[in-house]
Amino acid sequence: MEKANFEMKMSTVLANAVNEPGKIMAAYNAFYGYSFGNQLLAFMQCIARDIPLGPIATYKAWSEKGRQVTKGQKAISLCMPVSCKVKDTDKKTGEEKEKGFTRFVFRNRWFVLAQTEGPEMEMPKVPAWDEATALAALKIERVSFEHPNGNVQGYATTERKVAVNPLAQLPLKTLFHELGHIMLGHTDVTAHDFGELPRDIKEVEAESVALLCLAALNLPGQEYCRGYIQSWLKGQEIPEKSAQKIMHAADVILKAGRGDLNKDGAA
> 35: closest CA among 218, 247, 203, 257?
247
Min CB(71)–Zn ion separation in Å: 52
Q: How far is the CB of 107 from Zn ion (least distance, A)?
A: 37
Q: Using the 8-state DSSP alphabet, how is residue 74 labeled?
A: P
**Of residues 210, 265, 263, 232, the one with CA closest to residue 24:** 210
Residue (4 or 253) nearer to Zn ion, CB:
253
Q: How far is the CB of 156 from Zn ion (least distance, A)?
A: 8
Q: Which of these ranges, 90-98, 104-112, 132-140, 200-208, lies near Zn ion under the rule CB under 5 A?
A: 200-208
Q: Does 204 engage in binding with Zn ion (CB under 5 A)?
A: no
Smaller CB separation from Zn ion, 46 or 164:
164
Q: How many Cα atoms within 13 Å fall on the side-chain side of residue 186? A: 29
d(CA 158, CA 250): 19
Helix (H, G, I), strand (E, B) or coil at 131: helix
Of 100 and 195, which CB lies nearer to Zn ion in the complex structure? Answer: 195
Binding mask 205-244 for Zn ion (x = CB under 5 A): -x--------------------------------------
Task: Name the residue nearer to Zn ion (CB basis): 13 or 201.
Answer: 201
* Strand locations in the chain (E): 56-58, 68-69, 76-89, 96-112, 116-117, 141-142, 154-156, 161-164
Total length of the chain? 267
* Rounded Cα gap, residues 126 and 141, in angstroms: 25
Separation of alpha carbons 92 and 95, rounded Å: 8
Minimum distance of Zn ion from residue 241's CB (angstroms): 18
Query: Smaller CB distance to Zn ion: residue 24 or 206?
Result: 206
Kindly identify the residues of this chain, within the stretch 140-159, that bind Zn ion according to CB under 5 A: none
Using Cβ positions, the residue closest to Zn ion within the complex turns out to be 206
C-beta closer to Zn ion: residue 52 or 150: 150
Do β-strands 96-112 and 56-58 pair in parallel, antiparallel, or remain unpaired? antiparallel
Cβ of residue 13: shortest distance to Zn ion, in angstroms?
23
**Neighbouring-strand partners of residue 235:** none
- Could you tell me the smallest distance in angstroms from the CB atom of residue 206 to Zn ion? 5
Amino acid (1-letter code) at residue 188: D
Query: Where along the sequence are the contacts to Zn ion (CB under 5 A)?
Result: 206
